[in-house]
Amino acid sequence: MALALFDLDNTLLAGDSDHLWGEFLITKGVVDAREYKARNDQFFLDYQQGTLDIFAYIAFQAGILAQHDRATLEQWRQHYLQESVLPIIAPHTPALLQWHRQRGDTLLIITATNRFVTTPIAEYLQVDALLATGLQEVDGQFTGQPDGIPCFREGKVLHLMQWMKENGHDWNESWFYSDSHNDLPLLGEVAYPVAVDPDDKLRQIALEKQWQVISLRHPGL
């Protein structure tokens, strides 16, 4: 049984769920709009440029979660899913997921975005497993700290290797779909790397390496 691995943000989604969570908190008046937006936008730019300090970003996001009780957070998250995420599922995402299901593949979303934000998205898309950045909790309350190695860049490879060891899978016939040059460490490991609506750096490397390049947003590409 082959593994079908999917990055989430700007791959299965035509947008970034991490950044959008910050935008959602702004619209709800949970955070200071000007200050939070400036920092949220800068982290997003850092990610795009390949210079993101992942631990600083986790602290930025998890710090807000730590200020609120779990019931409130989950209520916000449900509204966020409906208002911000479902409208940006890329048009061809359902068909791609279904194609892999029909093949009998095991479907995993593997994302740097934290598990709290991404769990309901993975459930909605009906994938078999989610590998995401963990956030530390004590008695159901977020502490503002990461839990383990962030699922980012080389961390994605480490998370997946641990998951494969625990679940009896290997790299054989594995696929990975991503839009970002930040995912080059994992793209370089799988049997079938696929660049999805890629950023400029990934597009160039995909063409040089003759990886498949597809779009989940535009028909015919």
Q: How deeply is 132 buried, as exposed, middle or buried, from its count of CB atoms within 10 A (0-12, 13-18, 19+)?
A: buried
- Residues serving a catalytic function are 7, 9
- Decide if 41 contacts 58 (C-beta within 8 A): no
Pair of tokens at residue 89? 């599922």
pLDDT in the model for residue 1: 80
pTM for this model (two decimals): 0.96
Tell me the domains of the chain and their CATH numbers: 3-14+89-214 (3.40.50.1000), 17-87 (1.20.1440.100)
pLDDT in the model for residue 221: 52
What is the enclosing helix (H) or strand (E) of 185? Answer: helix 184-187
Residues of the chain with pLDDT below 50 are none
Kindly write down the DSSP assignment for every residue of 86-117, as one continuous string.
Answer: GGGB-TTHHHHHHHHHHHTPEEEEEEEEEHHH
